[in-house]
Amino acid sequence: MKRAFALSLLLAACASAPDDGAPTSTATSRVTVAPQTTMDITRQDEVDAVQISASRDDVWKAMLATHQSLEIPMSGSDESAHAAAFTLRDKTRTILGKPASSYVDCGNGPAGPRADSYRITVKISHRLQPVSDSSTILGTLVEAWARHPGQSADAIQCNSRRTLEKYLAGIITTRASTK
């Protein structure tokens, strides 16, 4: 019982995020921490926001062109709300030519970072908000899950290292600003 309580405190500490003023997205999931013991964990994912000196339409076009050039397929969009999601499914070992662990943290297994040996699914969500006619905020949220390649076990949720958000924002900013 003491062990389950200590584990639940550790999980709760890991689930909380520092409050640095960044917009967040939350999700609650139920996890098993010991036989016959479950708890709800609320994850708080930070939305990476970048202000771009370009119109919302120019940023939208740059965002679409960026994902197309990187071969990241769109999984859904709401053009009227200027929101879109892109998903990389069942990637193994690499994402965009780099080790997957450089973008997401899925914990470590016996062979090292799970992100580099598990099948990874990465969902990238963007939302554009106009600041003015010539300035737009690009909000990006990266969510990822990993599955052991040889088992059909439940996926584990991974944490973004926030490098993919910055990489994509840099390309989108460059494309939108050169119009």
* H or E element at residue 63: helix 56-69
Q: Report pLDDT for 55.
A: 96
Q: How far apart are CA 104 and CA 87, in angstroms?
A: 14
The greatest distance separating any two alpha carbons of the chain, rounded to the nearest whole angstrom, comes to 62
Quickly count: other Cβ atoms within 10 Å of residue 84's Cβ: 20
Q: Report pLDDT for 19.
A: 35
Whether 8 has a pLDDT exceeding 50, the answer reads: no
Q: Report pLDDT for 37.
A: 65
Q: What is the pTM of this model?
A: 0.75
Q: Report pLDDT for 146.
A: 92
Q: How far apart are CA 147 and CA 56, in angstroms?
A: 37
Under 8 Å between Cβ of 88 and 95: yes
Between residues 26 and 12, the one the model is more confident about:
26
Q: Report pLDDT for 13.
A: 33
Encode 115-130: b = buried (16+ Cβ within 10 Å), e = exposed. Answer: bbbbbbbbbbbbbbbe
Domains of the chain: 1-44 (no CATH), 47-177 (3.30.530.50)
Under 8 Å between Cβ of 115 and 101: yes
Distances, alpha carbon 117 to alpha carbons 101, 112, 113, 157, 165, in Å: 9, 8, 7, 15, 22
Distances, alpha carbon 154 to alpha carbons 46, 90, 95, 175, in Å: 24, 14, 21, 38
Kindly report the CA angle at 46 between 134 and 178, in degrees rounded to 5? 25
Q: How far apart are CA 172 and CA 111, in angstroms?
A: 35
Instruction: State how beta strands 98-99 and 156-160 pair.
Output: unpaired
pLDDT digits (tens, 9 = 90+) for 44-90: 456 889 999 999 999 999 999 999 999 999 999 998 999 999 999 98
3-state SS string over 76-95? EEEHHHCEEEEEEEEEECEE
Average pLDDT, the chain: 81
pLDDT digits (tens, 9 = 90+) for 102-134: 999 999 988 899 999 999 999 999 999 999 999
